[in-house]
Amino acid sequence: MAEKPRVATASLCGCFGCHMSLLDIDERILQLVDLVTFDRTPLTDIKTLGDCDLGLIEGGVANAENVEVLREFRRRCKTLVAVGACAVNGGIPAMRNQFSLAECLRESYCDGVGVHNPGIPNDPEIPLLLNQVHPIHEVVAIDYFLPGCPPSADAIWTFLTEFLEGRPIAFPYTQIHFD
């Protein structure tokens, strides 16, 4: 028997809502674990990404670590999917693009309500923020886009089952929404 397809997932500048929506497939997760093997994902303990057939990315690209993780996923995954509004077009976090990064940092860490010990964190352990939040297709090539904030469990299930069967992916009208 051929080895099961390997699936990895990651959350970049995301809220983990798309992962929760994935878990909303409920008991179908038992079918899913029969169909695939999970590699690095927030749902496993695996720290480094192996070679995978499918990578699911939630969240946009907001900091240097996001870029590094996303490029690693592109290198390791045959098929890479933008899951959710943030990965697709930057989403709500990209609303910070209305302001300069300096304005955002000053508001959060210096001038904001209830700030003690004002000062912008500068430990090298902390990844630097990018000037703007970007959709992931502006950093690496993306094979599929699954819109929604988050995409419904049914949309994710449609995608996974059609993809794993090697069929062209088509969604019923009610499964596609941008919100």
Partner 1 sequence: MSKTFKLDGREIPFETGQTIMDAALAAGVYIPHLCHNPEFAPHGSCRVCVVDIGGRQVSACTAAASEGLEVDNSSEAIQETRRAILQMLFVEGNHVCPACEKSGACQLQAVAYYTGMLAPHFTHFFPRRSVDASHPDVVIDFNRCILCELCVRASRDHDGKRVFAISGRGLESHLVIDSHSGLLGDSSFAATDKAAHVCPTGAILPKGRGYETPIGERLYDREPISIVGDVRAHEEEVV
For partner 1, the binding residues in 37-96 under the rule CB under 8 A are 82, 85, 88-92, 94-95
Least Å distance, CB 24 to partner 1, is 15
- What is the CB neighbour count within 10 angstroms for residue 152? 18
| 146 touching partner 1, by CB under 8 A | yes
Shortest Å, Cβ 55 to partner 1: 16
**How big is the site for partner 1, counted in residues (CB under 8 A)?**
27
Please report whether residue 20 would count as binding partner 1 according to CB under 8 A: no
Residue 145 near partner 1 by CB under 8 A: yes
DSSP symbols for 10-71: EESB--SHHHHHHHTTTTHHHHHHHH-EE-SSTTS---S---EEEEEEESBEEEHHHHHHHH
Q: Cβ closer to partner 1: 46 or 95? A: 95
Our separate counts of H helices and E strands in the chain read 6, 7
Site for partner 1 contains 179 (CB under 8 A):
yes
Q: Which is nearer to partner 1, 49 or 85 (CB)?
A: 85
Composition of the chain by helix, strand, coil, percent to 5: 40, 20, 40
> Which residues are at the interface with partner 1 (CB under 8 A)?
82, 85, 88-92, 94-95, 97-98, 132, 134-135, 137-138, 144-147, 149, 173-174, 176-179
